[in-house]
A = this chain, B = another copy of it.
Amino acid sequence: MKLFVLFFAAFIPSAAVIAQVADAKPTPQLYSDQTVRNMREIQRAAASSTYAYDQTRYLSYNIGPRLSGSSQAARAVEYVADQMRKLGLEVRLQKCFVPHWVRGEERGELVEFTGMAPGTVQKVVLTALGGSVATPPEGITAEIVVVNSFEELAALGREKVEGKIVLFNFKFDTEMQSSGFGGAAYGQAVQFRFGGAMAAARFGAVAALNRSAGGSQNRLAHTGSMGYADGVPKIPGAAVSFEDAETIAHLARSGKVKLHLTLTPQTLPDVESYNVIGDLKGTERPDEVVIVSGHLDSWDLGQGAIDDASGVAVSMEVAKLLTDLKIRPKRTIRVIAWMNEENGGRGSAAYEKEEAANISKHFAAVEADLGASHPLGILFTGKPEIQAYLAPITQVLLPQGATQTQLQAGGVGADIGPLTRAGVPSFAPWFNQQSYFNYHHTAADTFDKIDPRQLRELGGVVAVLAYGLADLQQPLPR
């Protein structure tokens, strides 16, 4: 029934009227008729634009992986700034100092297990976690202790863990992902990636492994950030592929399993880097800002295509569409390509610091960092009343099926997190997350994973949302 109503509503000229009808008590008009017409025009233009796809391709193929501190991240800053200038934006680079962690060699090999033939070569596919310390250059050899939770680790205690390598074998819930809750599945698994080395080191382990915090069953290891705690020894951390976790867990059930592990990452001095910020000035309230953003840095294993070249590209797409259509927003739309989302959040912190006195002028913030597949609608963090303000926007997005809106407590994007916490209404495209974590943070996050039509849909969502917010006739509840 609801679908039918929405479908019908799409053919009524002023969506603004519908929003008022849908709301129990009469509200002032949220969007002018002209704004609604413009939103429709933007949505249609997005459906045939190749701009975001081309930008995602350039970032993925011609620049490549963009880990903070790398020359490719620096090149990406130059490139995106240049492209934003070509769009006529007022561009500035916002300085931040980012970690410079460099992946070295990474090798794992089982050197003892039940039934092993002398001379056996049994490789383990693994990858160092971002920020990990190195093993000695010749590697370490130790028995693997397999646990499924922090509680199991604690139950084993120092006696059974000291001097060993702990494998956190918590299984990424692929069924949960298949049913559309990939983010929730990730949330469960990622705690062992982030906290595994800290927990294992407290019991004297010499290294920590985690079963990859993703859905891949294609021998791919899933990297990502890990943490260290003050006063706890820093031990190397790595993720093993799904298959290798299964192998090790099976072998460990019937006897001792020993691993020779070599990781040679280096943490070099911090590097000066930048958020790229491009303003499309508002015509009526230029001092009020709607941010639309993605992050420019990426992990180094793949090309950072879905995480998050696509997010940067669709944010740039907003400005491209508006300037091509000669539509000027009433408030300023600020396109941001954030630096260092993945392993430090230094770009986000720099923005927060610089804009601390200016939070009230941040009308809204949008971040696209949850995938590049078919968008289902819009997630938001803020007052529940905001939902009504989104109705006219999702009515414009009805033809592409992006009609759902949902309040998500706790934020919708890492880079806009400080703004969210300061009370700025925050938004993100809501994706079908049935496959995102099969590629996320792996070597397979490559340009081919971008579906051009779905990326155009994403451009539609982000552009209509950002423009609509920038033209809102009322303040957003906050």
By a beta-carbon cutoff of 8 Å, the part of chain A in contact with chain B is 57-58, 61-65, 70-72, 74-75, 79, 113-122, 125, 216-220, 242-243, 246-247, 250-251, 300, 302-303, 438, 442-444, 446-448
Could you say which residues of chain B place their CB within 8 Å of the CB of A79? Answer: 115
The residue in A75, A247, A438, A442 that gathers the most chain B C-beta atoms within 10 A of its C-beta is A247
- CB pair A115–B62 under 8 Å, yes or no, is yes
CB distance from A245 to the nearest CB of B (A): 10
Could you say which residues of chain B place their CB within 8 Å of the CB of A443? Answer: 125, 219, 243
Which residue in B75, B220, B242, B302 is a CB contact (below 8 Å) of A117? B75
- CB pair A242–B448 under 8 Å, yes or no, is yes
Given A75-B117, A120-B71, A219-B220, CB of A448 within 8 Å of CB of B251: no
Could you say which residues of chain B place their CB within 8 Å of the CB of A125? Answer: 443
- CB pair A219–B446 under 8 Å, yes or no, is yes
- 19 residue pairs of the A-B complex, CB under 8 angstroms, read A61-B250, A62-B251, A63-B120, A64-B122, A71-B117, A71-B120, A72-B120, A72-B122, A79-B115, A218-B218, A218-B220, A218-B444, A219-B302, A219-B443, A219-B446, A243-B443, A246-B448, A247-B446, A247-B447
Main SS at interface, chain A: loop
- CB pair A216–B218 under 8 Å, yes or no, is yes
CB distance from A354 to the nearest CB of B (A): 27
CA distance A166 to B107 in the complex (A): 30
With CB as the reference atom, state the residue of chain B lying closest to A247: B61
- CB pair A120–B64 under 8 Å, yes or no, is yes
Q: Work out how many copies of this chain go into the complex.
A: 2
CA distance A64 to B117 in the complex (A): 10
Could you say which residues of chain B place their CB within 8 Å of the CB of A447? Answer: 243, 246-247, 250
CA distance A74 to B75 in the complex (A): 51
- CB pair A74–B117 under 8 Å, yes or no, is yes
CB distance from A385 to the nearest CB of B (A): 44
Given A120-B71, A218-B218, A220-B218, CB of A62 within 8 Å of CB of B246: no
Could you say which residues of chain B place their CB within 8 Å of the CB of A442? Answer: 219
CA distance A219 to B70 in the complex (A): 22
CA distance A74 to B116 in the complex (A): 12
CA distance A435 to B72 in the complex (A): 36
Known: A218-B218, A219-B446. 15 other contacts (CB 8 A): A58-B115, A63-B115, A64-B120, A65-B121, A72-B117, A72-B119, A72-B122, A216-B218, A217-B448, A218-B438, A218-B444, A219-B302, A243-B444, A246-B448, A247-B447
